[in-house]
């Protein structure tokens, strides 16, 4: 074994040069845009995935507020009505009217109302629709072109509701 301190220093410097050389080649290939290189892919791919994730979250998050508003308006209209037949019609209309003006395909909207109109019972409005994801590359294939949004709001009818006429 060679215990020469000078030899150890030279070996250490050579190892440092090799690692710096490898790092310099990595950055150079990333900057030069060699798209077939592994280094380029390992630097650019995470950035592309982050941009796609932000685009997906932007579309989905923007579609959450209208569905919660529609379910809330549906439930409020349902509990404010006196009879079940009138309540179902008013609640369905309120849900559709609250979605009017949003970029939502009206054929995919479904409004389901459960409960009865006896005093002090729950009435639940469940609203669903699809968000078109066909314009977002990569997510269109993952999601089948659309993402289903659901919202459900339950409100209790008034326990001492008087008859209105």
pLDDT tens for each residue of 67-92: 999 999 999 999 888 788 888 999 99
pLDDT above 90: residue 152: yes
Mean pLDDT for 13-41 is 61
At 165 the pLDDT is 45
Q: What does the buried/exposed string (b/e) look like for 47-74 if buried means 16 or more CB atoms within 10 Å of the residue's CB?
A: eeeeeeeebbeebeeebeebbebbbbbb
Q: What does the block give as tokens for 120?
A: 């002090």
At 2 the pLDDT is 55
Please report, rounded to a whole number, the percentage of residues in the chain having pLDDT higher than 70.
68
Query: In DSSP terms, which residues pair with 112 in a beta bridge?
Result: 126
| Domain annotation covers residue 22 | no
| Domain annotation covers residue 138 | yes
Mean pLDDT for 39-58 is 77
User: What is the tally of structural domains in the chain?
Assistant: 1
| Domain annotation covers residue 95 | yes
pLDDT tens for each residue of 95-126: 999 988 887 778 889 999 998 888 888 999 99
| Domain annotation covers residue 114 | yes
Please report, rounded to a whole number, the percentage of residues in the chain having pLDDT higher than 90.
23
Mean pLDDT for 142-149 is 78
Enclosing domain of residue 105 = 63-156
Task: State pTM to two decimals.
Answer: 0.62
| Domain annotation covers residue 43 | no
Query: In DSSP terms, which residues pair with 153 in a beta bridge?
Result: 125
At 147 the pLDDT is 80
Q: What does the block give as tokens for 149?
A: 């949004």
């Amino acid at each position: 074994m060679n215990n020469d301190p000078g030899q150890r220093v030279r070996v250490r410097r050579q190892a440092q040069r090799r690692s710096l050389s490898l790092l310099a080649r990595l950055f150079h290939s990333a900057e030069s845009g060699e798209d077939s290189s592994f280094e380029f892919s390992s630097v650019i791919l995470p950035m592309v995935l982050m941009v796609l994730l932000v685009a997906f979250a932007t579309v989905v998050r923007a579609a959450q507020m209208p569905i919660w508003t529609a379910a809330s308006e549906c439930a409020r209209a349902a509990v404010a009505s006196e009879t079940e037949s009138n309540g179902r019609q008013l609640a369905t209309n309120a849900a559709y009217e609250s979605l009017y003006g949003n970029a939502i395909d009206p054929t995919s909207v479904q409004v389901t109302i459960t409960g009865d109109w006896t005093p002090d019972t729950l009435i639940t409005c469940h609203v669903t629709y699809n968000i078109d994801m066909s314009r977002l590359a990569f997510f269109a294939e993952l999601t089948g072109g659309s993402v289903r949004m659901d919202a459900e709001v339950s409100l209790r009818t008034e326990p001492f509701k008087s008859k209105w006429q």
